[in-house]
Amino acid sequence: MMIKKIALKEFKENLREGRFSVSTLIVSLLLLMGVWLSYNYLTSVQQQHAEAKENARNIWVSQDEKNPHSAAHYGTYAFKPKYPLSLIDPGVDKYSGISIFLEAHKRNESQYMAASDQTGLARFGDLTPDFIMLFMIPLLIILIGYNAFTREKEQGTLKLLKGQGISLWKLILGKWTGIFLPVLIITTILFVIASILFMNVKDFGELNYGVLALLFLVYLAYYAVFINITLIVSCTSKQSGISLVSLLAIWIVACLAMPKASSNLADTIYPYPSRQAFAAAIEKDKKAGLDGHNPWSQAAKDFERETLEKYGVDSLSQLPFNFDGYRMQKGEEHEAQVYFKHYAQLKKTHQQQTKIYQASAVVSPFLPTRFLSMALARTDYGSHWDFADAAENYRLKLQEALNMNFAENSSYGDWAYKADKTFWKDIPDFNYIPPSYGKILERNWSNFAALGLWLLVSFGGLKFLSQKV
């Protein structure tokens, strides 16, 4: 009862202050604008992708009769799907490319990152809902709450309240609720708008409301941490000005400086290879093994002998299949292994970098929230890896189907063989099914733990303070 009274008083007092209403209004407007822009962008991109995906399939299916290996070189494209929650958090989508070219002998990186089609300003960030929610709302919390206690101290009303015998803890809880309330309202409105928008769009795929709710909770936990920090600082500062400046310093370190610093740290300790160096290393390993197009290499000769021995025949033309196609497939398999090895290394570097980000979460509650938000929206780097890996698996299956068609339907030396037009249709389309949310949660347990820890420690600090003062 008491807490409710204090909360209401705080809320009322805030409402009467221009600062609160103006900043809340601005943040809400920005948020609405962000959602609107994001929604427009997403629907248009979604449409383009659907079109492109269909076109890619059409182009593949409508190929003329040709040698399956020509088709393999001709290749096809895998387009990265967009997920509904990217409306709220587009994550690293801007920097991770939109499609992967699937061809013979090569694992390609995804290409055309949106950021390279924008000016250098793109690096300042976009007006998307996640920007407002991750950066602006914590600022709003600071603006509302920085003088929650310093004001009472400056007016002398804190002594009055203490004189009334009110426990400081109840006072803190009341003030906490008073700050949390407007933030809760803004966040709830945003999520309601978002889910209404989702319902109106068909092609977004299924929206998991449980995940939406989880994302909502993650943000609320993030805000709770900021409210706790704000109250702790306000409670321990002597003047409003000092409280405000300290809180802003905390905000800058947590939301601006730390992400950048940890990114530099990650890059220094576990650097990515340059694109050319990476490609050169792969090329070198590839050359050491079987090349499907090169029957004269040592590896090819060895393979030829082994195959002849295995089937107990004297010449390649006696084999029950076209050895060219078979060699092509074995070459592909060797190359796939080389790619697998190098990409596994790259992935390891990525995971080591991720560990640095996770460790930095100790200094910044922003980081775990940032990563959780992206992960739940399926727009994080992990989701991109999932897609790239799935595309590579599909590529290998595609190559296998093409090579085996070549091997089984023609005889040795018959490079003129052409597969029937209908064959292209028989090869299934690439339909990417992302990993379950269970996997994503599992992958992000440390982010959950870090956010939970922040929540616990900051609440603990507040409680401790209430007993000490």
Partner 1 sequence: MKRMKTSSYINRYEFISLVRQRWLQFLILILLVLVFFAVFNGKQKVDQRLSDIQSAQAKANQKDSLGVILLDSMEAGYTVNVPRWYMPNQPHVIGYSYPRVAAMLPDELAIIATGQSDIYTHYVQPNLYGESFQLNYTELSNPVQLMFGSFDLSFVLINLLPLIVIAFTYNILSQEREQGILQVIASHPVSLYRWLLQKALMRYLLLSGILTLLLVGLLSMAGVSLVADFGKTLTFILLTLGYLLFWFVLACLVNLRGHSSANNAVWLIAWWILLVLLVPSSVNQMANSLYSVPSRARLINELRVVNAEAEKKADKLLESFLRDHPELAGHEGGSMGWKEYFATQDLIKSEIQPVLDEYEMKLQQQQAWVDQLRFISPALLLQSSFNEISGTSTQNYEDYREQVSDFSLIWRDYFLPKIFRGETFTKAMMAELPEFEYQPSTAHKLRTANMLAVFICCAVLLLLGVLWSRQSKTSILAH
Q: Quote the longest CA-to-CA distance of the chain.
A: 104
Binding to partner 1, residues 381-410 (CB under 8 A): 381, 384
Binding to partner 1, residues 357-376 (CB under 8 A): 357
Q: Does 43 bind partner 1 (CB under 8 A)?
A: no
Phi-psi region of 413 (alpha: psi -120 to 50; beta: other; left: phi over 0): left
| Least distance between partner 1 and beta carbon 311 (Å) | 28
Q: Does 96 bind partner 1 (CB under 8 A)?
A: yes
* C-beta of 108 vs 403, nearer to partner 1: 108
* C-beta of 220 vs 253, nearer to partner 1: 253
| Least distance between partner 1 and beta carbon 289 (Å) | 16
Q: Does 302 bind partner 1 (CB under 8 A)?
A: no
Distance CA 349, CA 360 (A): 17
Distance CA 367, CA 253 (A): 11
* C-beta of 52 vs 193, nearer to partner 1: 52
Distance CA 202, CA 179 (A): 37
Q: How do the residues of the chain divide into helix, strand and coil, expressed in percent and rounded to 5?
A: 75, 5, 25
Tokens of 327: 């060699």
Distance CA 402, CA 407 (A): 9
Long-range pairs of 61-66 with CB within 8 A, sequence gap ≥ 24 = 61/424, 61/425, 62/424, 63/421, 63/424, 64/421, 65/418, 65/419, 65/420, 65/421, 66/418, 66/419
* C-beta of 329 vs 383, nearer to partner 1: 383
Please pick, from the candidates 252, 288, 313, 362, the single residue that binds partner 1 as defined by CB under 8 A. Answer: 252
Binding to partner 1, residues 201-240 (CB under 8 A): 239-240
> How many chain residues interact with partner 1 (CB under 8 A)?
85
For partner 1, which stretch binds (CB under 8 A), given 42-50, 226-234, 402-410, 425-433?
42-50
* C-beta of 243 vs 405, nearer to partner 1: 243
* Residue where the block lists tokens 């299924």: 206
* C-beta of 232 vs 407, nearer to partner 1: 232
Q: Does 269 bind partner 1 (CB under 8 A)?
A: no
Binding to partner 1, residues 46-85 (CB under 8 A): 48-49, 51-52, 55-56, 59, 74, 77, 79
| Pair 134, 148: CB distance under 8 Å | no
Distance CA 371, CA 364 (A): 12
* C-beta of 227 vs 374, nearer to partner 1: 374
Q: Which residues of 157-181 are buried (b: 16+ CB within 10 A; e: fewer)?
A: ebeeeeeeeeebeebbbbbbbbbbb
For partner 1, which stretch binds (CB under 8 A), given 219-227, 333-341, 380-388, 426-434?
380-388
| Least distance between partner 1 and beta carbon 343 (Å) | 11
Q: Does 299 bind partner 1 (CB under 8 A)?
A: no
| Least distance between partner 1 and beta carbon 5 (Å) | 26
Please pick, from the candidates 2, 5, 21, 116, the single residue that binds partner 1 as defined by CB under 8 A. Answer: 116
Distance CA 218, CA 88 (A): 13
* C-beta of 41 vs 191, nearer to partner 1: 41
